[in-house]
Amino acid sequence: MEILELINNGSKQLKDKNINSHKIDSEILLSEALNQTREKILINLDKKIDSKKISNFYKFIERRSSKEPIAYILKKKEFWSKSFLVDYNTLIPRPETELMVEKIVKIFKTKNIYVLDIGTGTGCILLSILSELKNSKGIGIDISSKTIKTANTNLKKHKLTQRAKFYRRSLDEIYHDKFDLIVSNPPYIKRKDLKNLNEDIKKFEPKLALDGGNDGLDVIRKVIYKSKNILKIKGMLALEIGNEQFKKVSKILESNKFKTRYLVKDYRENIRCILSTLEN
């Protein structure tokens, strides 16, 4: 069977399952099955493929048909122009989080800082920041040992073991360090809204990384409260939030001696990140 026919067959199967990105998904999954770039397969559409690779391709298509995210099938996700290992224990990195990283890098580009990443997941936020701030160091924490294992794989992959460490710790286990920057993309979805999430998120991504409690702010409150005790004065807290949480989170920050300095909007002009400094 030729590449073009495989792409079309996969695309049709995904389209029948109401997957909007059916064509590009089919191309990506075929490129993975063939261990070739998508660009290469698209200029060789008449090339015949052997049966074993065809079988692997259709296994990928079956998984995607069940709404499994592409990132979990490929076991990787691009973030900040780098490839990160992802698995079922980690939230899939999102493009809007790159906007937060971009702002942080601009603010601290000439400084050497000590960073804490709370709820680190894949480690992509901390590792991306440190890849740009060449003399800075940091740690990432997460309560899941499996997640920390994934983060450590990414740490070694991106050759940052001299400047970053990952630990299985809760917020309550960070006492003595004083950080220049604390960054967090915490769970912020209301518990009652979890059932309304897209099927690919609801069925496959870790609930622990999504569930923000009854009002979506449980973990955000803890991060803010803890941060005021472990940030240096004038240190910065960069917090990713949900679409409609800006006003409520701003009040929590203000009541804990934080002053909002910068806001980051997503591609739909929603405020998705608040960067604030700890005041005296």
> Residues of the chain with pLDDT > 70: what percent?
100
Last residue of a domain, one of 66, 98, 119: 66
Query: Is the residue at 72 inside a domain?
Result: no
91 with 214, same domain: the answer is yes
134 with 58, same domain: the answer is no
When divided into structural domains, the chain yields a total of 2
Mean pLDDT of 143-160: 98
What does pTM read for this prediction?
Answer: 0.95
User: What single string gives the DSSP state of each residue in 134-147?
Assistant: TT-EEEEEES-HHH
Is the model more confident about 176 or about 79? 79
State the pLDDT at residue 149.
Answer: 98
Task: Tell me: pLDDT of 176 over 80.
Answer: no
Query: Is the residue at 148 inside a domain?
Result: yes
Distance CA 126, CA 137 (A): 9
Last residue of a domain, one of 47, 66, 85: 66
Mean pLDDT of 43-65: 97
98 with 198, same domain: the answer is yes
Taking only the tens place, the pLDDT of each residue in 223-234 is 999 999 999 999
Show Cβ contacts of residue 44 under 8 Å, excluding neighbours closer than 6 positions: 3
18 with 133, same domain: the answer is no
Task: Tell me: pLDDT of 175 over 80.
Answer: no
State the pLDDT at residue 177.
Answer: 78
Last residue of a domain, one of 39, 66, 93: 66
Taking only the tens place, the pLDDT of each residue in 230-249 is 999 999 999 999 999 999 99
CATH at 44? 1.10.8
Give the domain range for residue 55.
Answer: 3-66
Query: Is the residue at 71 inside a domain?
Result: no
Q: Residue 93: how many CB atoms within 10 A of its CB?
A: 24
254 with 138, same domain: the answer is yes
State the pLDDT at residue 174.
Answer: 83
Task: Tell me: pLDDT of 172 over 90.
Answer: no
Query: Is the residue at 112 inside a domain?
Result: yes
Task: Tell me: pLDDT of 137 over 90.
Answer: yes
Taking only the tens place, the pLDDT of each residue in 186-225 is 999 999 999 999 999 999 999 999 999 999 999 999 999 9
Specify the amino acid at residue 35. Answer: N
Show Cβ contacts of residue 165 under 8 Å, excluding neighbours closer than 6 positions: 139, 140, 155
